[in-house]
């Protein structure tokens, strides 16, 4: 089989972004406790399952993210799977607001990472392995605990828009 060369349009980042935007995902907020004890979190839709035995998940972070060293050095992080009625938080945790946790109902989980109450599920992880992935870093986490909290409709991301999915 010969390798088909991609044409310039297919190769472009903007085309790839557009094509991938047609893959519907859920929405998470990945959280971590900073060395000073305060919480940090960002909206992430690159979250996915990896393995059941051992229990592994992954997500990827833009290497330009100013908080990347937090995740490179942390003893853990948490995945908050977001509900449709929390899309305002998904927007806030992707935006410019200085205090993303203002008025957010959250607590520290058993592993010491911030958990957003009223999320659909919480997954607490410790680092398993990090991988270079082009302009992103892939963080694989070992699941320490996974808790389903609610059957409310889920936040969804499709064609660049936040929406919702109801089963």
Ligand X SMILES: Cc1cc2nc3c(=O)[nH]c(=O)nc-3n(C[C@H](O)[C@H](O)[C@H](O)COP(=O)(O)O)c2cc1C
Which positions lie near ligand X, rule CB under 6 A? 27, 42-46, 59-62, 65-67, 90, 93-94, 157
Of 45 and 74, nearer to ligand X (C-beta) is: 45
Of 6 and 19, nearer to ligand X (C-beta) is: 19
Least distance CB 68 / ligand X (angstroms): 9
Least distance CB 140 / ligand X (angstroms): 14
Of 6 and 65, nearer to ligand X (C-beta) is: 65
Q: Which of 18, 16, 19, 44 is nearest to 29 (CA)?
A: 44
Phi first, then psi: what are they for 48, rounded to 5°? -160, 160
Least distance CB 157 / ligand X (angstroms): 4
* Count of other CB atoms within 10 angstroms of residue 61: 21
Q: Which of 111, 123, 117 is nearest to 147 (CA)?
A: 123
Least distance CB 67 / ligand X (angstroms): 5
Least distance CB 18 / ligand X (angstroms): 15
Of 6 and 62, nearer to ligand X (C-beta) is: 62
Of 6 and 18, nearer to ligand X (C-beta) is: 18
Dihedral, 112, 124, 85, 38 alpha carbons, nearest 10:
20
Residue of minimal Cβ distance to ligand X: 46
d(CA 95, CA 89): 10
Structure tokens, 28: 């998470």
Please tell me what DSSP assigns to residue 20: H
């Amino acid at each position: 089989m010969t390798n088909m060369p991609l044409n310039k349009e297919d190769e472009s980042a903007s085309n790839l972004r557009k094509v991938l935007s047609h893959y519907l995902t859920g929405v998470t907020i990945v959280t971590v406790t900073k060395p000073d004890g305060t919480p940090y979190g960002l909206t992430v839709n690159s979250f996915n399952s990896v393995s059941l035995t051992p229990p592994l998940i992954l997500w990827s972070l833009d290497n330009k993210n100013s908080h990347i060293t937090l995740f490179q050095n942390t003893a853990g992080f948490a995945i908050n799977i977001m509900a449709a009625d929390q899309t305002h938080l998904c927007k806030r945790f992707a935006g410019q607001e200085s205090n993303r946790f203002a008025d957010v109902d959250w607590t520290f989980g058993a592993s010491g990472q911030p958990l957003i109450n009223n999320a659909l599920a919480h997954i607490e992880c410790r680092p398993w392995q990090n991988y270079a992935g082009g302009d992103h870093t892939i963080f694989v986490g070992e699941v320490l605990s996974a808790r389903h909290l609610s059957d409310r409709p889920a936040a969804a991301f499709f064609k660049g828009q936040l929406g919702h999915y109801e089963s």
